[in-house]
Amino acid sequence: MWKRMTRALVIVDVQRDFCKGGSLEVPGAEEILKPINELRNTGFFDVVVETQDWHPENHVSFAKNHPGHEVFDAIEESGVKQILWPVHCVQNSVGAEFHPLLTHRDSDILIQKGTDPNIDSYSAFWDNGKQKQTQLKERLVEKDVSQLYVCGLALDFCVAYTCLDGVLEGFETYLILDCSRAISTSSLTMKLLELASSDVKFTYSSLCCKN
């Protein structure tokens, strides 16, 4: 008997610090709030996941923790390239909260990442050194999910890496372009090419329910 695929909407890091006025503001971040809320209310998705950057104050990604370096410098830390960012999404801070206009429910799966002070975690599945997994794959398998629809902030970093790992973990993975925004146009171009060559499918919120 034919069985419909179980679909998950993965909303990546739609937090105050990545939105207008935040310490690491992503241009146009507020533009994705309405389409994400509308999309999750269509009933198309069986599971909704919200991811949250959740850094300790001494996190390796913060430029202030590396004297002599500036924001956006790139260093090598434990064999992994690390871009240095402004302090953002510190655990239990206002900046780490989800944007107040983002719809979320108690039934949503919450995945907090970047909690290890010694390594960053762009992907919602793994840290950047591929040493430790989050609970995301386990929770998706529990729900019998086979298709992922990924959106959020920032497209050229955490959204993209989540999509890439989604494919590697065996999920049919879609990037919802109009529900995502990038930090940089130049890094976005390169990352979209990488995603396209890695079996990530591109879609729009208006097309999701037609797949």
Residue 69 domain-assigned?
no
Residue 120 domain-assigned?
yes
Q: 194 is in which domain, residue-wise?
A: 6-55+90-208
User: Is 70 exceeded by the pLDDT of residue 104?
Assistant: yes
Which candidate in 17, 113, 163, 179 is catalytic? 113
Which candidate in 19, 151, 158, 179 is catalytic? 158
Residue 189 domain-assigned?
yes
Six token digits for residue 150? 């990924």
Question: Catalytic residue at 201?
Answer: no
| Percent of the chain surpassing pLDDT 90 | 90
Which candidate in 13, 17, 120, 127 is catalytic? 13
Predicted confidence band of residue 119 (pLDDT cuts 50, 70, 90)? very high
Residue 200 domain-assigned?
yes
User: Is 80 exceeded by the pLDDT of residue 145?
Assistant: yes
Residue 130 domain-assigned?
yes
pLDDT (average), residues 85-91: 98
User: Is 80 exceeded by the pLDDT of residue 4?
Assistant: no
Q: What is the pLDDT of residue 2?
A: 46
Could you please report the per-residue DSSP string of 165-190?
Answer: HHHHTT-EEEEEEEEEE-S-HHHHHH
Q: What is the pLDDT of residue 79?
A: 85
Segments in the chain forming alpha helices (H): 33-40, 136-142, 160-168, 185-196, 205-208
Q: Going by DSSP bridges, is the β-strand pair 80-83/74-77 parallel, antiparallel, or unpaired? A: antiparallel
Beta bridge partners of 87: none
CA dist 193 and 130 (Å) reads: 22
Question: Catalytic residue at 179?
Answer: no
Predicted confidence band of residue 16 (pLDDT cuts 50, 70, 90)? very high
Six token digits for residue 15? 């937090």
pLDDT (average), residues 117-131: 96
pLDDT in tens, 164-206: 999 999 999 999 999 999 998 888 999 999 999 999 999 999 9
Residue 63 domain-assigned?
no
Question: Catalytic residue at 19?
Answer: no
Mean pLDDT, the chain, as a whole number?
94
Task: Read off the pTM.
Answer: 0.96
Six token digits for residue 151? 């959106």
Amino acid identity, residue 18?
Answer: F
Domains contained in the chain, number = 1
Indicate which CATH number applies to the domain containing 177: 3.40.50.850
Distances in Å between the Cα of 83 and the Cα atoms of 60, 128, 130 are 9, 11, 17
Q: What is the pLDDT of residue 211?
A: 54
